Amino acid sequence: MERELDAELRGAFDRVFARSWYIKGEENKSFEEAFAAYHGVEHCVGVGNGLDALMLALKSLGIGEGDEVIVPSNTYIATALAVTYVGAKPVFVEPNIRTFNIDPSRIEAAVTEKTKAIIPVHLYGQPCDMDPIMEIARKRELRVVEDCAQAHGARYKGQLVGTFGDAAGFSFYPGKNLGALGDAGAVLTNDKELAKKIRALGNYGSDYKYHHIYQGNNSRLDEIQAAFLSAKLPHLDRMNAERRRIAKRYLAEIQHLDVILPTVPDYAEPVWHIFAVRCSSRDALEKHMNDHGIMTNKHYPIPMHLQECYRDLAFQKGDFPIAEEISQTELSLPMFYGMTEEEIQFVIDSINGLVK
Ligand SMILES: *Cc1c(COP(=O)(O)O)cnc(C)c1O
């Protein structure tokens, strides 16, 4: 993708370089406007990365020490880290094993009087089942911060993810569906006051120069990354369509008794950040594919509750069996923009056992 946009990306760099203005300028402003407009949302605040986007969103909502936040038990560590960074406690809720996303029917049992928010993660580019999640949030007066780091452009019942909750965090890490050429992130919200607070929190807690209302940190989207992102955003839907084309072939043509393909519910228009299959003999399948020169991945081999950094939470093996099952059986197939028909066919043949 970067090669194909060579001229646009170099042009973006030249524009910033000519202006010699690198932090908080025109590029940040115009990307924020474009990203907000793409979503039909009022405000976008560019930040340093996806973890900060989630962390600043939680902080702006006043979530911190003594609070609990519900997160899926099988997400990438950044979701939980955002919660623990603000001093709150992550409460893990198991996913639906077919969609890999948080199971709404298990959320209420995890709500206590300390619960302040839910972070639905649109994992692998699949939208969460948002209607029941928003219903529980309304009923229990909880905030909703969507983790959209893997789901730029995904839709739930026709509506873009990132437009449901109080705020949404995005990552533009290079490998994401919309990636910068370095670290970058953004928060979306329709709440003007929240947007103002997030912007200040990421800029030393400052609302105007040398005036500090919060003990903020430094997390800003720099001009060069914003310019690159503005060059790539108009191509997002096309890049996602490419991933859908690959996914469609995998779904139609992979046929192996031991391989369970991902389920796409009627409400979902996923963007396939990751194409995740499950296989009881995952490691053997992985070796078979790697032996044929096919790169695969595991998302993620160790669930959060068993991570060393969270030993304080005192969880044990068996506490979240679905997350553990996914960690032991999930295999991510090649999925990238520019994959050729031959490459797709080779992956399919390799799994189906035709390539020995
Ligand atoms: C990538 C990712 C993040 C964090 O984004 P960074 O830009 O790497 O900080 C958060 N949540 C999920 C689900 C991610 O995949």
The answer, as to whether pTM is greater than 0.85, is: yes
Write the residue with the smallest CA distance to atom 7 of ligand 1.
50
Q: Tokens 């799994």, residue?
A: 351
* pLDDT score at 165: 98
b or e along 165-179 (b: 16 or more beta carbons within 10 Å of the residue's beta carbon)? Answer: bbbbbbbbbeebbbb
CA distance 39 to 340: 30
* pLDDT score at 356: 64
Write the residue with the smallest CA distance to atom 12 of ligand 1.
149
**Residue 51 alpha carbon, nearest atom of ligand 1:** 9
H or E element, residue 60: helix 50-60
* pLDDT score at 1: 73
* pLDDT score at 7: 95
Helix (H, G, I), strand (E, B) or coil at 82: helix
Q: Report which of 347, 304, 350 is spatially closest to residue 323, judged by C-alpha positions.
A: 304
Beta strands 211-212 and 206-208, pairing class: antiparallel
Q: For residue 7, give both structure tokens.
A: 């001229």
**Residue to mutate, 47, 51, 177, 222, ligand 1, most ligand atoms under 8 Å from C-beta:** 51
Q: Are 165 and 145 in contact (CB under 8 A)?
A: yes
Q: What is the pLDDT of residues 152-189, one digit of tens each?
A: 999 999 999 999 999 999 999 999 999 999 999 999 99
What are the C-alpha distances in Å from 232 to residues 8, 12, 19, 220?
Answer: 8, 10, 20, 19
**How many angstroms is it from 352 CA to the middle of ligand 1?**
32
- The segments of the chain whose pLDDT lies below 50 read none
